Chains A and B, each alone.
Chain A
Amino acid sequence: MIRKGLGKMTNLQFSSPLTLKQDFLGEGIKINSTEYVGKINFRCDPNNSLIFNGIKDITGINLPLKSGEVFGNNDYRIQWLGPNEWILQCADNQRELLINNIKSKLAGEHFSITDVSDYYLTIRLSGVNSNEILSKGTPLDLEKFICNKDMCAQTYIAKATVLIDRLSNEPLYDISVRWSYAEYLWEWLVDSSLEFTK
């Protein structure tokens, strides 16, 4: 990717479509990008107690089994994607360790594990007007599916498929979006927030 003002070539590996974006600040709305987080896609049969307990031993948290549930502690965060699919979030430098731990702990069991950290970028939306802005582009019932802390939902915003994760009871959302859609979604969110600038 060639971009004006990107800086030295040595920085390329740390650049993303959001690298040069300035945080957007409006009245009751803030849009910023977050630091890289390790994202591991994990699939298994949720009724397999050996796997279920294995994940609990490694991360300290259970796999959420209810639709839209998120469990987290200081080191990990597990988002429900489907009845047999989750995203395990960890610190960027812990990815390999986590994958290797799970692979060795659950050796011989039937599961799949994929490092998808580089597929997604995360845009953070916060402030009292967040819901107002989200509802311009998503058909999701925000009052029902992501009304409280630790709830997530996959849906779309404008034309981009996203995973929205609510981090707090105050409006604070982490929106995971495909790398290639990140700039589009960023611009769309900023555009939708313009009415909240002074």
Chain B
Amino acid sequence: MFVIRCPYCGERDQTEFTCHGEAHIARPKNPNEVSDKKWGEYLFFRTNPKGYHYERWTHDHGCRRWFNVKRHTVTDKIVQTYKMGESKPEDNSA
């Protein structure tokens, strides 16, 4: 069984969770003034790292809260989960 630690509920089975893509993407504050290229990058371009990836997850079949996950894309190991609003943990893989 693959277990994920929800910051609110504790360790639960992975099937209770859903991944919602990359985390820490800030929406430009002034969309009207942003160039098409910049806006396109914000909307569509994502990092595709071999190493630690920061993701947004929800605990759908539990507390239904959103939280962030730091996961290694090669080993699939989740090294940290943290609440929304908390700062991004450092990538010390290099």
Contact = CB atoms under 8 A, between A and B. Distances in A.
Interface of A: 67-68, 81-83, 85, 139-141, 144-145, 153-156, 161
Interface stretch (B12-20, B21-29, B70-78): B12-20
Given A67-B9, A67-B10, A139-B1, A155 B16 contact: yes
Contact of A67 (B8, B60, B61, B64): B8
A54 to B, nearest CB: 23
A139 B12 contact: yes
Given A81-B63, A83-B65, A155-B62, A139 B9 contact: no
Contact of A140 (B12, B64, B65): B12
Interface size class of B (residues with CB under 8 A): 10 to 19
25 contacts: A67-B63, A68-B9, A81-B63, A81-B64, A82-B8, A82-B65, A85-B64, A139-B12, A139-B13, A139-B15, A139-B16, A140-B12, A140-B13, A144-B10, A145-B9, A145-B10, A154-B62, A154-B63, A154-B64, A155-B16, A155-B62, A156-B15, A156-B16, A161-B60, A161-B61
At the interface, is chain B mostly helix, strand, loop or mixed?
loop
A85 B11 CA distance: 20
Contacts, number: 42
B61 A156 contact: yes
B64 A82 contact: yes
A48 B10 CA distance: 24
A83 B83 CA distance: 11
Contacts of A140: 12-13
A83 B8 contact: yes
B48 to A, nearest CB: 30
B12 A83 contact: no
Contacts of B16: 139, 155-156
B15 to A, nearest CB: 6
A20 B91 CA distance: 58
Contact of B63 (A83, A139, A141, A156): A83
A81 B63 CA distance: 6
B64 A155 contact: no
A68 B10 CA distance: 10
Nearest to A156: B61
A85 B62 CA distance: 12
A145 B61 CA distance: 14
Contacts of A154: 61-64
